[in-house]
Amino acid sequence: MRIAIFGDVVGRSGRRALIDELPRLKRRLALDFIIVNGENAAAGFGVSARIVEEMLEAGVDVVTTGNHAFDQRDEVEIFRTEPRLLRPLNFPPSNPGRGAGLFETKDGRAVLVVHAQGQVEMHPCDDPFAAVDAAIGNAMLGRDADAILVDFHAEATSEKQAMGHFLDGRVSAVVGTHTHTPTADDRVLAGGTAYISDIGMCGDYDSVIGMEKSEPLNRFLTKMPSQRFQPAAGEATLCAVIIETDKSGRAISIEPLRLGGILKQAAPDQRT
């Protein structure tokens, strides 16, 4: 199976690049399943029903979020009505929506997607290790799911690496999101789990983690806010990883995808 997981989509620039390019990428790379982290898609903070619908119509199979999941307070109903939209599973159980789901590809294969948030330097939440362990339960790769994919939305690379090793051999991939900066440690762990500490973002990198530079600079220099953060509006770089699994559900490879914008470009080999 060929799986694409895209990092945090930031603002209009990231949305437009993703929606415009995704149909072509899906054909060119022969993608079977696509996950997008959309938590910064609505003006940099949260998601909206319209944005989620646009992503799904463009070919996204599952949208994950993170600590900004509910920032658009008038849009929380979409978490109750759209099963393909996930919030971190270790949020309070009273929160709308869910943090894991079993999804089906067009050719009938089953994909379990699990979404959790870290605890280190993040808003308080329940233990992500226990939550992910419970969500996976006794599900076995190749028997109960053709692939099991974990989006771990966390700040600390140590916590992300620990999650990768905790789940190695039990899941197809553990990918980190949240920091908006792609890391160079993409690899397949000893047990057959693809891993990367952070995919990066889909947004304008002539920015401060996707935000127009002036206000972040002002706050670092003066320690005083002068206005709201605004997403940078220049050309976006799409950051993703392309994961290939075998019949057992374990990873054969993980490769970075960086397309457009100012970052060094990277792409897996084209598939026909």
The pLDDT tens digits along the chain (272 residues) read 999 999 999 999 999 999 999 999 999 999 999 999 999 999 999 999 999 999 999 999 999 999 999 999 999 999 999 999 999 999 999 999 999 999 999 999 999 999 999 999 999 999 999 999 999 999 999 999 999 999 999 999 999 999 999 999 999 999 999 999 999 999 999 999 999 999 999 999 999 999 999 999 999 999 999 999 999 999 999 999 999 999 999 999 999 999 999 999 999 876 65
What is the structure's pLDDT at 86?
Answer: 98
For residue 219, how far is the Cα from the chain centroid?
A: 28
Six-digit token pair at 237?
Answer: 């770089």
Pick the CATH number of 2-259 from 3.60.21.10, 3.40.50.720, 2.102.10.10, 3.40.640.10: 3.60.21.10
Tell me the C-alpha distance between 57 and 37, whole Å: 15
What is the structure's pLDDT at 269?
Answer: 78
DSSP string, 64-92: E--TTTT-SGGGTHHHHH-TTB---TTS-
Long-range contacts of 263-268 (CB under 8 A, 24+ apart): 263/182, 263/200, 263/205, 263/237, 263/239, 268/29, 268/242
Is residue 134 within 8 Å of residue 241, measured between CB atoms?
no
- In this structure, the strands spanning 187-188 and 194-196 are antiparallel
Tell me the C-alpha distance between 236 and 12, whole Å: 9
Buried b (16+ CB within 10 A) or exposed e, 83-109: ebbbbbbbbeeeeebbbbbebeeeeeb
DSSP string, 180-204: -S--S--EE-TTS-EEES---EEB-
Q: Which of 28, 37, 15, 22 is nearest to 200 (CA)?
A: 37
178 is catalytic: no
What is the structure's pLDDT at 214?
Answer: 96
Tell me the C-alpha distance between 63 and 202, whole Å: 14
Q: Which of 68, 115, 178, 180 is catalytic?
A: 68
Six-digit token pair at 253?
Answer: 């490879």
